[in-house]
Amino acid sequence: MAEIRLEGVTKRYGDLVALDDVSLVIEDGSFTSIFGPPSSGKSVLLRVLLGLESVDAGRVIVDGRDVTHATPNARNLSMVFQNLALFPHLDARDNIAFPMIRRGATQEDIDRWLEQLSGVLSIGHILHKRPAALSGGERQRVAIGRALIRDASAYMMDEPIAALDARLRDAMRVELKRLQTELGRTFIYVTHDCEEAMSVADNMAILENGRIVQQGRPDEVYTRPETLYVARLVGSPGINVLAGHASDNGVDIAMGRIAVPVDAGAVCVALRPEALGLARPGEGELRGTITDIERLGGFSVLTVSGGEELRAISNADVAHRIGDEVGLTVDPSGMHLFDPQAGTRIG
């Protein structure tokens, strides 16, 4: 049982509120990603959990124990730092074994764990090398090994794979997910990359200026964003946001009218690119002219203009050309309405 709970945690740096009344429950054995744009408070949240930063208000509870004021080494949490922070004067083996040595583990235990971990992380052949002699991916795995070797309540990772090249990043992402499933441990994963946050996690929390604006399974967050901010953050290509006016069970936007039961007034219409389907001119709810086609191999992204601009995902072998008039159908499940002032969800 290793549930982690934040209750109303607030952290200020002078006038800057880094965390604003954050409450969050991270369930035992879950893979939770904390996602937000740069300087939204993600790293501070981890540092507060770890005890590297004090809190101004609220409580941090690990395994049912209030550790709000406990020192970092009394919290039994483990961490992979963004810059890895390996110990440069120790070889990979001593780096990984460090937490065990610190806790007075026997050589036997250390060897057993090292063997198991080096199998999982495939680092057996580099254990004798110092960090300076390792490649980026190897350092990464050593840092993860150092965090995983001991039996912590939870393992935190602050953008652990952000600096790797794209191919390696994809591989590590899969690797991490597999590791977490295999070991059944609690992972808390901080990232500013939406795709990363969604792909690894079974639970995600989204931060905006130090506040958690939404929390839930990645697919829930995607299909039912609670605010315009969240809708914009998740998904690639990004969601289309258009100004609309609702009246008589329909919303008028520059490119047409979409039937939807909603109170009259100004609304923000957000349309997922994949919810838009190409149709012949005159058919579908919306109409416009294709102004750009990006062919991305598996699919194409079309830009359609008509007063405003929309991006729509279409199949790879799209026959249309730039300048063609088209109609667009709207799948209601990919359409979200928000209050234009507050940015909150309508309906």
Partner 1 sequence: MTGLILRTVVVALFAAIALLPISWMATMAFKPPAEWTSATAELTFLPKDPTWSNFVYVFTGEVEGQIVSLDRTVWWPLFASLLTSVIGTLIAVVAGTAAAYAVSREKVGGSIGLSLLQLRIFPPLAVMIPVMIMWAFLGMIDTWWGLSLIYGIVTLPFSFWLMKSYFDELPREIEEAAIVEGCTAFEAFYQITLPIVVSAVASTALFIFILNWSDYLIALLLTRKEWTTIPVYMNALATAASGQLYGAKAALGLIAAIPPIILGISIQRFLVQGLTFGALKQ
- Chain positions contacting partner 1, by CB under 8 A: 50, 52, 71-73, 77-79, 81-89, 98-99, 102-103, 130-134, 136, 139-140, 146, 150, 163-164
Rg of the chain over all Cα atoms, to the nearest angstrom: 24
Residue whose structure tokens are 């901080």: 190
**Residue 130 or 211 having the CB closest to partner 1:** 130
Min dist CB 116 to partner 1, Å, is 18
**Residue 164 or 313 having the CB closest to partner 1:** 164
Min dist CB 67 to partner 1, Å, is 13
Beta strands at 154-158 and 77-80: parallel, antiparallel or unpaired: parallel
**Residue 1 or 132 having the CB closest to partner 1:** 132
Min dist CB 274 to partner 1, Å, is 34
Closest-CA residue to 15 (of 158, 210, 190, 192): 210
**Residue 172 or 234 having the CB closest to partner 1:** 172
Q: Are 244 and 268 in contact (CB under 8 A)?
A: yes
**Residue 137 or 306 having the CB closest to partner 1:** 137
Min dist CB 70 to partner 1, Å, is 12
Burial class for 244, CB neighbours closer than 10 Å (0-12, 13-18, 19+): buried
Length of the chain: 347
Long-range CB contacts (< 8 A, 24+ apart) of 216-222?
Answer: 218/33, 222/198
Angle, alpha carbons 6-189-5 (nearest 5°): 15
Min dist CB 79 to partner 1, Å, is 5
**Residue 62 or 204 having the CB closest to partner 1:** 62
**Residue 4 or 77 having the CB closest to partner 1:** 77
Min dist CB 139 to partner 1, Å, is 7
In 203-223, which positions are buried (b, 16+ CB within 10 angstroms) versus exposed (e)? bbbbbbbbebbbbbebeebbe
**Residue 26 or 164 having the CB closest to partner 1:** 164
Q: Are 55 and 210 in contact (CB under 8 A)?
A: no
**Alpha carbons 10 and 211: distance in angstroms, whole number:** 9
Residue 149 has phi, psi (to 5 degrees) of -65, -30
Alpha helices in the chain (DSSP H): 42-50, 92-102, 107-121, 136-148, 166-183, 194-200, 218-223, 228-233
Min dist CB 48 to partner 1, Å, is 13
Type of residue found at 146? R
Min dist CB 102 to partner 1, Å, is 4
**Residue 139 or 272 having the CB closest to partner 1:** 139
Min dist CB 90 to partner 1, Å, is 8
Angle, alpha carbons 304-338-227 (nearest 5°): 105
